[in-house]
């Protein structure tokens, strides 16, 4: 085959390849890039929802959100709330779901492990609104969670303040999230485990290694890419959390302890109508997420393991 | 490895089962609570300790039955049975979005995975970067776009902004990267066009990942609260999450009716889940192929 | 489904040109089709009534289509704001005045069409309402809205719960906030720390309506220039809230089921709730047995023992307003519909008896219908010693800042002094913005 002809076929194919991506590109241009650019421009103005006129104010909104209180709900507090929620949720989630996945993969009756998987995953099927509605009732002082707390702590009639005290409220939102996604992340790890060839285990067992030893020295290192990927995914999801906190606040809890960035954006922009300021917060969140994603891609491309 | 411990139950195994069962109880108990509370009078739900079996002795009115909560949930705040219409809307929106996501994401993913063209990496990164845009950040500009398109308060208005997701493109690309290139070349030799290759070779051979992606986007739309909140204004254009949150605010709604409403609204998802659980649970299969 | 989409598109196409047209006719034109968007908040009893009016109106004016959107109160506020931001507001709508006033200031709503409403001018319209009742919507001499309701809150009381706690409702009902605490202590039932019956609980998240008057009783105030005036009064009122909550006497808190929601059920779990006359219509529809038993009553809004001002809970209003961006024709029709809703002979009485809403016209306030509403005298009495809720600059944001302050002292162990400082800083930031 002549070189030139091959070249032109490749070019023809390349055009097709690009053509296949056009519908998505057009879609994202309209429904993602345009809005985010528009949000960026708005972030440079003093635009409010109701007023007709607005003017460009440069970086004033950015300075405001980092130095002022935003009517009692500062961005710094939101960064704190988001960070605490993210760390408090994704670390237990990754640890527990990894542990559960390892235990499930060790069960000798596949039927049993399927049954457990099915049950663990079921909460993920519920919508966030339903999940928050159920838990709001469970967390009431008269609710089931408080009853169980009393039972486990061997107290009686104590109000553990699941929705009222600062720390407990934060823990409550973490529990709802943990509950909803534990099954999902377990499945991710199970898939990761399944892709590790069992010949490796067998070799290890012939060597006389204990199961624990083989987990620690064989499984875990091989699972590292999955762990990293899942952790970052979990972290990104936690950064974007909204519904649980929103439903809780609607139910009457304090906002400040669980005022995650997305919720602050929502209240500042949609509720109080400070569009410019809310847009500035959006851009900050966007940049934070971008950094994490860059990390994700870095880990992904650098951490591939050949079995 | 399989046969080594047959007949013996090790301590470790017992501990595994104990731990897994604790997690299982944690996952399932709130669901059982929802199921049982849906039949109860609010008085019973709030009485301590929680009695798991619905009982008529807590009924506060003579006309009450075990199904009163469900009647309230369906009849709605105004006795107009809008529940079914809202349920129907949710089903339509979620189904259409699932279908378009599968189509557009697989097409784009195929283009990115199996072709080489200038700016490919840029296209991929651009699409990935949209994954990082939190919806709350673009909600208001998006509303402006939708108003310009005159799709506010219509079913297309609920669908169009979610025709495809960046995550879907990502999933499809990662999966298709491992798709054997020989098949494609063989088809080309047979004279098949590029779109034909996509629709007749790639799509039919990607059913597991397509099913997984379809389910994921169905679930995301089923769960969507914020956009319908802005976009659907007429009662008959609302979706189920909106119905629940509105129902929850109505003054005469009590915990029991709320749980009945939540339960009813979850039934379609439960049916989908239990009938197609292998695709749900295989949901992560895509990541097998992340080496690429 | 496809058919529906086609129909929707066709409808949209048909309706579109209408928005572009402007009209300058003086009478409502009955020949051209016209679509009116009407957005309002959820209220089952009012919906029934207004749907009847809409059916009657569209029967008389077959060219008019009225699309109604009903949302929960909170969602409605957000939705209208977002729609206005996108330049797509409804033709007419209603919101509480503290959220609605900014629309007048920003020029987003149109002055009343006096001719269409059947008045000579603004003065004529104002004088048909009780003194000062629509001052809030008068701006530069024009009236910008017509009141759907003006509402103040008194205390609803369940006599059975009182007797169950060994109290006589007729004499032992709380006249002061201090008595409110004492009475509630007697009524409250707890299992350990867990409250299973409350005496009274506040209506959290409407702080401008219930809490600011408490501050005013102690000599403080909320000022559109100076923010939270009189630190001592604010701190004292916050201290009262702190003692009410779980870290004090543990009589109630914002995360428990809303008091007025439980009140109608008559389940022996709440004795008193803070709400408006419309609650009577809701009790009747939720629980007719309870309504007819006569086991409930209404008592005046309490004051502090050492109050320096005798102020009852603020009154607020919902006003029907018309979008200034709507075409002249649409505006005219909108005002005509509003007129049909509110000013038609006998409608005000129906709003009162069916929904429990008071439209403060001179005619209604002096009518037998009003006087015959149970306990309307109590509401009138409280009305006389109340004033309109703060509705000026930043009202929405200030309300949520006060809400935060209250939750921080009640739930998060913040000292009232510190909570006040944070609050005042936040309020001043909002006002200076």
Residues A166-174 have a mean pLDDT of: 93
Q: C187-209 pLDDT, tens per residue?
A: 999 988 888 899 999 998 899 99
Q: Is C364 a domain residue?
A: no
Mean per-residue pLDDT over chain A, rounded: 84
Of B134, B86, B97, B93, nearest to B242 (Cα)? Answer: B86
How far is B101 from B105, CA to CA, in rounded Å? 6
Pairing of strands C194-201, C138-139: unpaired
Which class for A210: exposed (0-12), middle (13-18), buried (19 or more C-beta within 10 A)? exposed
Looking at the complex, report in whole angstroms how far the Cα of residue C398 sits from the nearest Cα belonging to chain A. Answer: 7
A4 pLDDT higher than 80: no
Of B206, B198, B204, nearest to B174 (Cα)? Answer: B206
Chains with ≥3 Cβ pairs under 8 A against B?
Answer: A, C
* Exposure string over B24-59, b if 16+ CB within 10 A, otherwise e: beebebbbebbbbbbbbbbbbbbebebeeebeeebb
Most confident of A64-73, A137-146, C104-113: C104-113
Alpha-carbon distances of C71 from B230, C43, C96, rounded to whole Å: 11, 9, 14
Question: Judged by CB atoms within 8 Å, which residues 38-57 of C form the interface with A?
Answer: none
Do the chains contact at C265 and B42, CB–CB below 8 Å?
Answer: yes
Do the chains contact at C82 and B140, CB–CB below 8 Å?
Answer: yes
Residues B241-268 have a mean pLDDT of: 82
Q: Which residues of C touch A150 (CB under 8 A)?
A: 192
Check whether residue B171 and residue B286 sit in a common domain. yes
Range in A59-73, B18-32, C221-235 with the lowest mean pLDDT: A59-73
A97 token code pair: 């779901």
Nearest to C194 among A49, A142, A254 (CB): A142
Looking at the complex, report in whole angstroms how far the Cα of residue B291 sits from the nearest Cα belonging to chain A. Answer: 6
Of B133, B172, B185, B208, nearest to A20 (Cα)? Answer: B172
Helices (H), C43-193: 44-60, 73-85, 97-105, 114-117, 122-127, 159-164, 169-172, 177-187
Q: Could you tell me which chain B residue has the CA closest to the CA of C16?
A: B150
How far is C103 from C88, CA to CA, in rounded Å? 14
At residue A141, the pLDDT reads 86
Contacts of B30 (CB under 8 A, 6+ apart): A123, A134, A135, A138, A179
At residue C390, the pLDDT reads 94
> Is residue C40 within 8 Å of C69, Cβ to Cβ?
yes
- Model ipTM value: 0.84
Looking at the complex, report in whole angstroms how far the Cα of residue B9 sits from the nearest Cα belonging to chain A. Answer: 10
Check whether residue C62 and residue C83 sit in a common domain. yes
β partners of residue C41: C71
Domain boundaries, chain A: 71-302
pLDDT band with cut points at 50, 70 and 90 for residue A205: low
At residue C26, the pLDDT reads 47
**Segment (H or E) for C139:** strand C138-139
Of A193, A195, A224, A196, nearest to A302 (Cα)? Answer: A224
Give residue B282's domain range. 82-290
C417 Cβ under 8 Å from any chain B Cβ: no
Do the chains contact at B249 and C72, CB–CB below 8 Å?
Answer: yes
Do the chains contact at A286 and B117, CB–CB below 8 Å?
Answer: no
Looking at the complex, report in whole angstroms how far the Cα of residue A256 sits from the nearest Cα belonging to chain C. Answer: 8
Check whether residue C97 and residue C143 sit in a common domain. yes
Cβ neighbours, 10 Å, residue B160: 20
At residue C9, the pLDDT reads 47
At residue B141, the pLDDT reads 85
Q: Is C376 a domain residue?
A: no
In total, the C-beta contacts within 8 angstroms joining chain B to chain C are 77
Do the chains contact at C196 and A142, CB–CB below 8 Å?
Answer: yes
Alpha-carbon distances of C423 from A81, C23, C226, C388, rounded to whole Å: 20, 49, 12, 22
Q: Does domain A71-302 have CATH number 1.20.140.10?
A: no
Looking at the complex, report in whole angstroms how far the Cα of residue B235 sits from the nearest Cα belonging to chain C. Answer: 7
Range in A128-142, B3-17, B134-148, B156-170 with the lowest mean pLDDT: B3-17
Q: B44-99 pLDDT, tens per residue?
A: 888 878 888 888 877 777 777 888 888 888 887 666 778 889 999 999 999 999 99
A126 token code pair: 């519920």
The Cβ-side half-sphere exposure at B120, using a 13 Å CA radius, reads 19
The count of domains in chain C is 2
At residue C301, the pLDDT reads 95
* Exposure string over B174-213, b if 16+ CB within 10 A, otherwise e: bbbbebeeeebeebeeeebebeebbeebbbeebeebbbbb
Mutate one of B92, B145, B226, B233 to test the C interface: name it (highest C CB count within 10 A): B233
At residue A208, the pLDDT reads 63
Looking at the complex, report in whole angstroms how far the Cα of residue C2 sits from the nearest Cα belonging to chain A. Answer: 22
A5 pLDDT higher than 70: no
Between helix A166-194 and helix A128-138 the angle, nearest 10°, is 130
Check whether residue C111 and residue C247 sit in a common domain. no
Contacts of B277 (CB under 8 A, 6+ apart): A118, A121
More confident residue, B129 or C336: C336
Dihedral over alpha carbons C253, C256, C261, C263 (to 10 degrees) = -70
Question: Judged by CB atoms within 8 Å, which residues 134-153 of A form the interface with C?
Answer: 140-142, 146, 150
A158 Cβ under 8 Å from any chain C Cβ: yes
Check whether residue C51 and residue C123 sit in a common domain. yes
**Backbone φ/ψ region at C12: left (φ over 0), alpha (ψ -120 to 50), beta:** alpha
Q: B171-204 pLDDT, tens per residue?
A: 888 888 888 888 888 888 888 888 888 988 888 8
In total, the C-beta contacts within 8 angstroms joining chain A to chain C are 117
Q: What is the DSSP letter of A258?
A: G
Residues B116-131 have a mean pLDDT of: 87
Check whether residue C333 and residue C310 sit in a common domain. no
Mean per-residue pLDDT over chain C, rounded: 88
Q: Is B112 a domain residue?
A: yes
Q: Which residues of B touch C48 (CB under 8 A)?
A: 78
Q: Which residues of A touch B12 (CB under 8 A)?
A: 211
How far is A304 from B288, CA to CA, in rounded Å? 12
First to last CA, chain B: 31
Q: C116-132 pLDDT, tens per residue?
A: 999 999 999 999 998 88
CATH number where C177 lies: 3.40.190.10
Check whether residue C112 and residue C166 sit in a common domain. no
Of B5, B6, B21, B35, nearest to B270 (Cα)? Answer: B35
Nearest to B143 among C16, C86, C264 (CB): C86
Q: Could you tell me which chain B residue has the CA closest to the CA of C89?
A: B147
Which class for C3: exposed (0-12), middle (13-18), buried (19 or more C-beta within 10 A)? exposed
Q: C341-380 pLDDT, tens per residue?
A: 999 988 999 999 888 899 988 888 888 889 988 999 999 9
Instruction: Give residue B129's Cα distance to chain centre.
Output: 22
Which residue, B68, B95, B117, sits at the end of a domain?
B68
Instruction: Return the percentage of chain C with pLDDT > 90, whole number.
Output: 63
Looking at the complex, report in whole angstroms how far the Cα of residue A198 sits from the nearest Cα belonging to chain C. Answer: 51
At residue A6, the pLDDT reads 59
Do the chains contact at B147 and C87, CB–CB below 8 Å?
Answer: yes
Check whether residue B24 and residue B107 sit in a common domain. no
Mean per-residue pLDDT over chain B, rounded: 83
Range in B65-79, C87-101, C217-231, C279-293 with the lowest mean pLDDT: B65-79
At residue B79, the pLDDT reads 67
At residue A198, the pLDDT reads 66
Question: Judged by CB atoms within 8 Å, which residues 237-266 of B form the interface with A?
Answer: 240-241, 244-245, 248, 255, 258-259, 262, 265-266
Check whether residue C122 and residue C166 sit in a common domain. no
Q: C371-418 pLDDT, tens per residue?
A: 988 999 999 999 889 999 999 888 988 998 999 899 999 988 899 999
C144 Cβ under 8 Å from any chain A Cβ: no
Q: Is C19 a domain residue?
A: no
Pairing of strands C296-299, C227-229: unpaired
Contacts of C339 (CB under 8 A, 6+ apart): C116, C117, C118
B144 Cβ under 8 Å from any chain A Cβ: yes
pLDDT band with cut points at 50, 70 and 90 for residue C311: very high
Q: Which residues of C touch B229 (CB under 8 A)?
A: 75, 78-79
Of C305, C298, C342, nearest to C152 (Cα)? Answer: C298
Check whether residue B107 and residue B251 sit in a common domain. yes
A297 token code pair: 């891609």
| SS3 assignment, position C95 | strand
C2 pLDDT higher than 70: no
Q: Could you tell me which chain C residue has the CA closest to the CA of A252?
A: C255
Instruction: Return the percentage of chain B with pLDDT > 90, whole number.
Output: 24
At residue C147, the pLDDT reads 93
CATH number where B140 lies: 1.10.3720.10
> Is residue C301 within 8 Å of C382, Cβ to Cβ?
yes
Give residue C294's domain range. 152-314+388-432
Nearest to A255 among C394, C404, C410 (CB): C404
Q: Is C425 a domain residue?
A: yes
| SS3 assignment, position A97 | helix
> Is residue B166 within 8 Å of B131, Cβ to Cβ?
yes
How far is A271 from A265, CA to CA, in rounded Å? 9
At residue C389, the pLDDT reads 93
At residue A209, the pLDDT reads 63
> Is residue A183 within 8 Å of B27, Cβ to Cβ?
yes
At residue A106, the pLDDT reads 78
At residue A1, the pLDDT reads 47
A8 pLDDT higher than 60: yes
C85 Cβ under 8 Å from any chain B Cβ: yes
Check whether residue B34 and residue B136 sit in a common domain. no
Q: Which residues of C touch A51 (CB under 8 A)?
A: 106
How far is C192 from A169, CA to CA, in rounded Å? 21
Contacts of B105 (CB under 8 A, 6+ apart): A24, B164, B165, B168, B169, B171, B172, B213
The count of domains in chain B is 2
At residue A105, the pLDDT reads 82
At residue C172, the pLDDT reads 93
Q: Is B75 a domain residue?
A: no
Nearest to B136 among A10, A121, A262 (CB): A262
Q: Is C177 a domain residue?
A: yes
Range in A83-92, C11-20, C42-51 with the lowest mean pLDDT: C11-20
Check whether residue C135 and residue C163 sit in a common domain. no
In C278-332, beta strands by DSSP E:
296-299, 315-322
């Amino acid at each position: 085959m002549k070189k030139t002809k091959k070249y032109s076929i490749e070019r023809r194919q390349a055009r097709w390849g690009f053509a296949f991506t056009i519908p998505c590109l057009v879609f994202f241009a309209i429904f993602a890039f345009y809005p985010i650019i528009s949000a960026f421009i708005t972030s440079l103005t003093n635009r409010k929802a109701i007023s007709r006129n607005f003017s460009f104010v440069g970086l004033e909104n950015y300075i405001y959100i980092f130095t002022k209180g935003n009517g009692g709900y500062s961005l710094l507090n939101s960064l704190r709330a988001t960070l605490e929620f993210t760390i408090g949720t994704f670390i237990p989630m990754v640890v527990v779901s990894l542990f559960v996945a390892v235990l499930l993969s060790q069960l000798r009756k596949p039927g049993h492990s399927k049954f457990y998987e099915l049950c663990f995953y079921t909460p993920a099927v519920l919508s966030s609104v339903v999940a928050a509605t159920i838990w709001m009732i469970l967390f009431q002082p008269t609710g089931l969670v408080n009853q169980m707390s009393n039972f486990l702590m061997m107290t009686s009639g104590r109000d553990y303040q699941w929705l009222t005290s600062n720390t407990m409220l934060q823990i409550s939102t973490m529990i709802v999230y943990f509950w909803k996604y534990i099954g999902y992340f377990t499945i991710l790890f199970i898939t990761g485990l399944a892709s590790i060839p069992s010949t490796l285990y067998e070799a290890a067992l012939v060597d006389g290694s204990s199961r624990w030893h083989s987990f620690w020295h064989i499984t875990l290192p091989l699972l590292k890419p999955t762990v990293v990927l899942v952790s970052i995914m979990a972290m990104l999801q936690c950064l974007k959390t909204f519904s649980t906190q929103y439903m809780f606040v609607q139910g009457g809890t304090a906002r400040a302890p669980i005022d995650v960035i997305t919720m602050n954006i929502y209240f500042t922009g949609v509720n109080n109508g400070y569009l410019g300021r809310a847009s500035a917060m959006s851009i900050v969140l966007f940049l934070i997420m971008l950094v994490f994603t860059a990390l994700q891609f870095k880990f992904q491309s650098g951490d591939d393991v050949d079995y | 490895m399989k046969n080594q411990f047959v007949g013996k139950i090790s301590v470790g195994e017992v501990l595994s089962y104990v731990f897994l069962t604790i997690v299982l109880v944690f996952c399932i108990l709130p669901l059982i609570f929802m199921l049982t509370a849906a039949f109860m009078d609010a008085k019973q739900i709030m009485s301590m300790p929680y009695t798991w079996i619905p009982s008529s002795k807590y009924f506060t009115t003579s006309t009450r039955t075990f199904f009163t909560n469900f009647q309230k949930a369906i009849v709605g705040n105004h006795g107009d049975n809008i529940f079914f219409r809202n349920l129907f809307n949710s089903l339509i929106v979620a189904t259409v979005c699932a279908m378009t996501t599968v189509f557009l994401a697989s097409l784009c993913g195929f283009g990115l995975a199996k072709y080489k063209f200038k700016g490919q990496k840029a296209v991929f990164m651009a699409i990935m970067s949209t994954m990082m845009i939190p919806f709350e950040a673009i909600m208001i500009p998006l509303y402006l776009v939708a108003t310009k398109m005159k799709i506010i308060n219509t079913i297309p208005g609920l669908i169009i902004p979610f025709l495809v997701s960046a995550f879907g493109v990502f999933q499809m690309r990662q999966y298709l990267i491992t798709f054997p290139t020989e098949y494609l070349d063989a088809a080309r030799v047979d004279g098949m066009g590029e779109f034909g290759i996509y629709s007749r070779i790639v799509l039919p051979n990607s059913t597991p990942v397509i099913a997984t992606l379809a389910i994921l986007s169905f679930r995301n739309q089923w769960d969507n609260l914020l956009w319908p909140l802005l976009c659907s204004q007429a009662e008959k254009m609302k979706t189920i999450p909106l119905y629940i949150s509105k129902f929850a605010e109505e003054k005469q709604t009590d915990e029991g009716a709320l749980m009945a409403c939540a339960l009813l609204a979850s039934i379609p998802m439960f049916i989908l889940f239990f009938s197609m659980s292998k695709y749900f649970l295989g949901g992560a299969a895509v990541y097998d192929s992340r080496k690429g | 489904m496809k058919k529906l989409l086609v129909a929707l598109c066709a409808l949209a196409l048909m309706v579109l040109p209408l928005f572009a047209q402007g009209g300058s006719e003086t009478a409502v034109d009955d020949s051209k089709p016209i679509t009116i968007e009407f957005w309002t908040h959820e209220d089952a009893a009012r919906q029934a009534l207004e749907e009847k009016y809409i059916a009657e109106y569209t029967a008389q004016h077959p060219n008019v289509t009225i699309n109604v959107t009903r949302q929960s109160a909170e969602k409605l506020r957000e939705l209208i704001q977002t729609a206005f931001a996108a330049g797509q507001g409804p033709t007419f709508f209603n919101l509480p005045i503290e959220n609605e006033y900014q629309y007048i200031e920003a020029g987003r709503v149109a002055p009343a069409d006096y001719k269409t409403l059947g008045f000579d001018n603004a003065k004529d319209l104002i004088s048909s309402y009780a003194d000062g009742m629509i001052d809030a919507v008068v701006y530069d001499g024009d009236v910008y809205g017509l009141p759907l309701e003006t509402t103040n809150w008194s205390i609803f009381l369940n006599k059975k719960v009182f007797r169950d706690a060994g109290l006589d409702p007729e004499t032992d009902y709380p006249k002061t906030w201090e008595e409110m605490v004492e009475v509630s202590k007697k009524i409250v039932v707890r299992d350990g720390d867990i409250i299973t019956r409350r005496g009274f609980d506040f209506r959290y998240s409407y702080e401008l309506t219930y809490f600011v008057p408490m501050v005013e009783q102690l000599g403080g105030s909320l000022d559109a220039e100076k923010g939270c005036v009189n630190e001592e009064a604010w701190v004292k009122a916050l201290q009262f809230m702190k003692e009410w909550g779980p870290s004090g006497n543990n009589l109630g808190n914002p995360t428990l089921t809303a008091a007025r929601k439980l009140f109608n059920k008559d389940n022996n779990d709440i004795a008193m709730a803070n709400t408006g006359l419309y609650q009577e219509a809701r009790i009747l529809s939720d629980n007719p047995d309870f309504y007819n038993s006569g086991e409930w009553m209404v008592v005046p809004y309490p004051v502090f023992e050492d109050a320096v001002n005798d102020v009852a809970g603020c009154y607020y209003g919902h006003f029907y307003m018309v979008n200034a961006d709507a075409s002249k024709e649409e505006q005219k029709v909108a005002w005509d519909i509003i007129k049909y809703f509110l000013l038609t002979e006998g409608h005000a009485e129906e709003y009162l008896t069916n929904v429990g809403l008071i439209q403060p016209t001179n005619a209604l306030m002096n009518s037998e219908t009003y006087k015959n509403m149970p306990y309307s005298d109590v509401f009138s009495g409280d009305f006389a010693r109340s004033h309109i809720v703060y509705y000026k600059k930043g009202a929405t944001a200030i309300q949520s800042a006060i809400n935060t302050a209250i939750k921080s002292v009640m739930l998060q162990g913040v000292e009232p002094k510190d909570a006040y400082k944070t609050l005042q800083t936040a309020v001043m930031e909002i006002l200076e913005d």
